[in-house]
């Protein structure tokens, strides 16, 4: 079992108030919709804008957004085309000029869960802002 699968299992076993500035979970989102993707955008931007020294205290500064699991519940996700997901997210976060993030699908107990890894903020990084208005 890899580290991201273990992270998903830890989320399922967590307490509902265990979310931290380096971890956010969403039990279910429609990643085929702009509204579902926008929830992910907000989490990515929030984690990318953490204070580097504080971020470094947990997981080497990495941040994680888990979609398809929450404390006490492993729901999984419908399959979403990664290219469509990326094309929906990128205009909001700024593409190559935006924060560094990567989506990975993992299977836990037969259910597919999305784990987005947000790279650690670094001293000197500019503030990442929302690049496009959402409704």
Model pLDDT for residues 4-35, shown as the tens digit of each residue = 999 999 999 999 888 888 999 998 888 878 88
Residue 103: φ, ψ to 5°:
-90, 140
pLDDT greater than 70 at residue 127: yes
Give the model's pLDDT for residue 48.
96
Condensed to tens digits (0 to 9), the pLDDT of residues 86-118 reads: 888 888 898 888 999 999 999 999 999 999 999
pLDDT greater than 70 at residue 1: no
State mean pLDDT over 53-57.
Answer: 94
What is the separation, in whole angstroms, between the first and last Cα of the chain? 40
Q: What is the pTM of this model?
A: 0.92
Side-chain-facing half-sphere of 108: CA atoms under 13 Å = 29
């Amino acid at each position: 079992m890899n580290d991201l699968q273990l992270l998903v299992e830890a989320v399922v076993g967590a307490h509902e108030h265990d979310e931290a500035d380096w971890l956010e979970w969403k039990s279910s989102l429609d990643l085929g919709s702009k509204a579902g993707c926008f929830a992910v955008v907000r989490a990515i931007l929030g984690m990318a804008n953490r204070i580097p020294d504080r971020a470094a205290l947990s997981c080497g500064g990495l941040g994680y957004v888990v979609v398809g699991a929450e404390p006490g519940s492993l729901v999984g996700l419908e399959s979403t085309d990664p290219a469509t997901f990326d094309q929906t997210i990128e205009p909001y976060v700024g593409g190559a000029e935006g924060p560094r993030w990567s989506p990975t699908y993992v299977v836990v107990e037969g259910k597919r869960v999305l784990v987005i890894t947000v790279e650690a903020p670094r001293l000197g990084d500019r503030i990442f802002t929302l690049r496009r208005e959402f409704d």
